[in-house]
Each structure stands twice: as C-alpha cells, then as structure tokens.
Amino acid sequence: MIDRPFYLNQLSRAVRRSPITALIGPRQCGKTTLARMFAEKKTTTFFDLESQLDLNRLQNPQLMLGSLRGLVIIDEIQAMPELFRVLRVLVDRPENKTRFLILGSASPELVKNASESLAGRVEFVELSGFGLRETGIDRSNVVWLRGVFPRSFLADSDADSLAWREGFIQTFLARDIPQLGISIPPAAMRRFWTMLAHYHGQTWNASELGRSLDLSDKTVRSYLDILTGTFMVRQLQPWYENLSKRQVKAPKIYLRDSGLLHALLSLPDFQTLQGYPRVGASWEGFAIEQALEILRPSQAFFWATHSGAEVDLFFIHHGRRYGIECKFSETPKITKSMNQAFESLNLAHLWIIYPGEHVYPISKQVSVWPIKNILTLPKQLR
C-alpha cells in the first residue's frame, strides 16, 4: 500500500472545519482505501451504497443517520442523491456533533441538486489517483504509460495494467454511467471517447467531432460534459482579456488519465508510445496533470491567439501571473510564441517542463524544468 499523507492531512483539516466533507474523484482512484485509512482509531460508521445490506440499513435514512455519532462515511453517495437533503437537515440541527465524510465518483454538477442542497455545509477534497509525490519521481515514465489509477500503476506487468484499464473502460461505460441515470449506448460513448483521445490536447470543436461521428453538436457536447463530470476528461478553459490580438475562446480537451488515453489509442507499452506520432500531446497532458496536482492553483487556464501564440498552462498566484509550457524535447528553447505570451500576459515567470535531467535558466524569467524536479516547483512561486 502506498502512503498518502498529503490527502490524509487535507481530510483532517476539512473534517475539522466542516460538518460534511466530500471526497470526490474517478472510480477506482483509491477513495475508499483513503477513507478507511483516515477512519483508523476513530469512532466510525461506514455505509457502502453498492451493498444491498447497507441500502437496507438506510431505508429510513434520517432516522438511521440521525442516531449516529462520531464519523459517518457514505461511499458512492451518487447512488442515492436524495441523501443530500437528509444530510442538510441533520447537520443544521443545533445539537449535531456528527461529522459526515461522503465519497462520490461524479462531480457535484453531475449529481443534480447536490451542491445546492449542501451549500455552505460541505468542503470538497478531490482525489486524482497516484501522483509523483506518492509513486516517486523515478517511476514517472511508468505513471505516464500506465496512468494514475492504483491497480493500473501497481500491476505486475504492462500487459496486466492494460488488461485492467480495458476492463475499467468497459465497466465504466456499461455500469457506472447508467447508475447516474444516463442512458447512452456503451458502444456510442466508446466511439466518442476514442475519438476524443485522438483530439487529446486540441481545442474543442463540436462541429468537427459531430461530423466525424454523425452526431449533432448538442449530443457531442452532452457526451463531453458526462466524461468531464465523471473525472475522465479535463476541459482546460481559455484565459482571455481585452487585448488587440484575437484570442481562442474554446476550451482545450485532455483525457485526465494518461493510462486510459493510451488504452483507447492502443499503445500497450513504452516503446509503442514513444513511436506514436502525437507522443508530444500525450506528454503535454501528463505533465499538465502532474503540475496541477503539485501546484493546486485555485483556477487554471491555457492561453492562445489565432495567430499561434500559446501557453499550455496559465495561473495566478498571490496576484502574480505564471505560465507553464510542456515540451517533449531534450533541448527546449524559447519560442516566438513564448515571447508573445510574456508581452501579452505580463508573466512573472514561465517554466518549460521537459523529460530531461537538468534545471537551467534560459533567461531571467524563463526556466527549463525537468519532470523529475516538479515536486520543487511550488517553492519557485514568489
């Protein structure tokens, strides 16, 4: 078992501050294991809403939950969205001392009325599978190939890892999406997801995808929102402001887990991945996810103009603007695009994340930063 002290500390702070803590993230990313680790040496009652026995225990949820003390953990709460209203009533009672930890595999936006029911009463902690702080930097290529899901990363071989990911995709499409009350044929969603994998790292274009799949713009948009709401896809929103340049205003699309990306693209091992024509796009998505996991900015964007200037990741920290570029190259250099970004965005600093070995400055405001040093990146923010 891999220790996850960062998330355990996050849970401790959240449970102390809020009557309800929501631990959210994709299926099979380790939420239940983390919750059980957190519950050790605490007075805890655990409900798994995929267990018929626990569903029977909650036939009268207000009576059952209202009688409990200590920490109450409810796993896969999206299976019973009516519990959100019950929890609101319980935690609003003046005598309430119980703390609730709810686990879910869908975002609050996808589970209708969740955020509205619990507004002001819940704190969210998002879990995203194993990051490099947990696996160790020396295994970054394994994380890149296999992804961040624990069972995929910890598999005995690349073939076993790929088999797990294929099973995950099939189960996700055939069971998990229908459990959210969404009726989409698994084959249709699989085709869309695979097509999206080929567009990984590109700007969203509903019309182009719709024509490729013979679907309407509205339908492909709804498919995208479902995969986003279940933590399979990241829509990185554009940053734009009143500049003279024409700026891109559509989001960029990334499959959040590089292992699932490679499974959908039929890239079974590292040798095949390195020979893939768009290996740079895969690397870009992997590096962006790791940077977001380490830096945890309150908001993150990309920036691009129609003339070709672009920054892969843009965020603001303590009022200062920063950028990150991800380059699958051993010798990255300052480009015209980067210079335009500095001029237009007034960046305090820009880091070029690459798969090489050495940290070195290209200029006073641009640093080349290897992925193996990404854990030290937060210390560079001023």
Residue 242: pLDDT above 70? Answer: no
- Please state, rounded to an integer, the average pLDDT across all residues of the chain: 91
**pLDDT band at residue 358 under the 50/70/90 scheme:** very high
Identify the CA nearest to 100 among candidates 136, 130, 74, 135. Answer: 74
> What does the radius of gyration of the chain's CA atoms come to, in whole angstroms?
22
- Whether residue 110 contacts residue 31, with contact meaning beta carbons closer than 8 Å, is answered with no
- Which DSSP letter does residue 253 get? E
- Rounded to an integer, what distance in angstroms lies between the CA atom of residue 345 and that of residue 323? 9
List, in order of start, the domains of the chain with CATH numbers.
5-126 (3.40.50.300), 141-380 (no CATH)
Residue with token string 């964007």: 301
pLDDT attached to residue 308 = 79
Q: Which residues contact 79 (CB under 8 A, 6 or more apart)?
A: 49, 50, 179
pLDDT attached to residue 114 = 67
Residue with token string 């040093």: 373
List the structure tokens of 351.
Answer: 């880091």
Least confident of 102-111, 149-158, 282-291: 102-111
Q: Which residues contact 242 (CB under 8 A, 6 or more apart)?
A: none
Residue 22 forms beta bridges with which residues? 102, 124
List the structure tokens of 251.
Answer: 């989001």
CB atoms within 10 A of CB 177: 18
Least confident of 109-113, 185-189, 308-312, 336-340: 109-113
Element (H, E) at 73: strand 71-75
Residue 195: pLDDT above 90? Answer: yes
pLDDT attached to residue 81 = 84
Helix (H, G, I), strand (E, B) or coil at 74: strand
CB atoms within 10 A of CB 92: 10
Residue 271: pLDDT above 90? Answer: yes
Backbone angles phi, psi at 317, to 5 degrees: -130, 120
List the structure tokens of 328.
Answer: 């699958």
Tens-place pLDDT, residues 120-142: 889 999 998 898 989 999 999 99
pLDDT attached to residue 162 = 97
Average pLDDT over residues 206-218: 92
**pLDDT band at residue 338 under the 50/70/90 scheme:** confident
- Rounded to an integer, what distance in angstroms lies between the CA atom of residue 229 and that of residue 108? 8
Q: Which residues contact 183 (CB under 8 A, 6 or more apart)?
A: none
pLDDT attached to residue 169 = 97
Average pLDDT over residues 75-100: 90
**pLDDT band at residue 172 under the 50/70/90 scheme:** very high
Position with higher pLDDT, 246 vs 190: 190
The residue type of 100 is F
Position with higher pLDDT, 87 vs 241: 87
Helix (H, G, I), strand (E, B) or coil at 157: coil
pLDDT attached to residue 201 = 96
- Rounded to an integer, what distance in angstroms lies between the CA atom of residue 147 and that of residue 154? 10
**pLDDT band at residue 198 under the 50/70/90 scheme:** very high
pLDDT attached to residue 243 = 64
Backbone angles phi, psi at 102, to 5 degrees: -110, 140
- Which DSSP letter does residue 315 get? E
